[in-house]
Amino acid sequence: MYGYFNGSILPVEQISFGVTDLGLLRGFGLFDYFRTYNGRPFQWDWYWERFANSAAKMHLPVPINKDEAHRVVMELIDKSNLPDIAVRFVMTGGYSPDSISIVRPNLLMIAEEIHPTPLNQYDDGIKVILDEYVREMAEVKSTDYKRVILLAEAIRSARASDVLYHKNGEISELSRSNVFIFKGDRLITPNRHILHGITRRTVMHLAQNDFEVEEGPVSLTDLYDADEAFTTSSTKKVLPIVQISDLTIGDGKPGQRTRFLLDEFNELIENW
């Protein structure tokens, strides 16, 4: 696989960072991640917009414009010799003379193989566990994922797939994806303390003709009344959630409305 680093495209194994980078020294960095369908970047405009917004909130100037970045992405796709790939953008505070000051960000773009969600999870649904936590600057896709890494053993012990964050009685998001619930034909998703996911946005557009789509606070007690639940992300698409800690959602099986939205999403990407 190939990657881009500060103006050069070269094999990923030849890319290296200096030890004074603020991403290494201070954990100061952001990223984004998207994939292709039929060799085309999915929702490119929306992903670039989010990446640029994250950079602005982190006070990091993006050293490349949107058109230049798109040309790089297309070259990485071409060099991969694969029908579809994932692309990861990583931007750090760059090399710092005093280990704290930002001078010039470092920008990395790397092509990656896609690691798809196991098909049985769409048939059976997944379990997640609750964790009382909200991410700092949740609207920024930062490189700080230590919370879920520290929870890895607890997730495995519970035979769960992920964690659902909540705070003050209100749920927000999973560690790497957004969450939705169905109450009848009402499709409800949190709008606070979240990363505004691109798959989330896509699904809301797909759902608006068939369901009443609502964004707003979702309480822990709302989960007890939910008929269905699912999570969305670049790799998960529309993935049913059938258990949250000790709570079984609905009848404990993926619901018909969730399956309908997954079918709608699959139809979209098939013709992307």
Residue-wise pLDDT tens digits, 62-120: 999 999 999 999 999 999 999 999 999 999 999 999 999 999 999 999 999 999 999 99
Q: Identify the DSSP state of 139.
A: T
State which fold the 2-112 domain adopts: D-amino Acid Aminotransferase; Chain A, domain 1 (3.30.470)
Q: Is 199 helix (H, G, I), strand (E, B) or coil?
A: helix
Asked if 125 contacts 253 with a C-beta cutoff of 8 angstroms, the reply is yes
Residue 256's pLDDT band (cuts 50, 70, 90): very high
Asked if 108 contacts 90 with a C-beta cutoff of 8 angstroms, the reply is yes
For the chain, the domains span 2-112, 119-270
Asked if 141 contacts 31 with a C-beta cutoff of 8 angstroms, the reply is yes
Per-residue pLDDT tens over the stretch 194-239 = 999 999 999 999 999 999 999 999 999 999 999 999 999 999 999 9
In 72-160, DSSP assigns E strands to 86-92, 106-112, 126-132
State which fold the 119-270 domain adopts: D-amino Acid Aminotransferase; Chain A, domain 2 (3.20.10)
Q: Identify the DSSP state of 142.
A: B
Whole-structure pTM value: 0.94
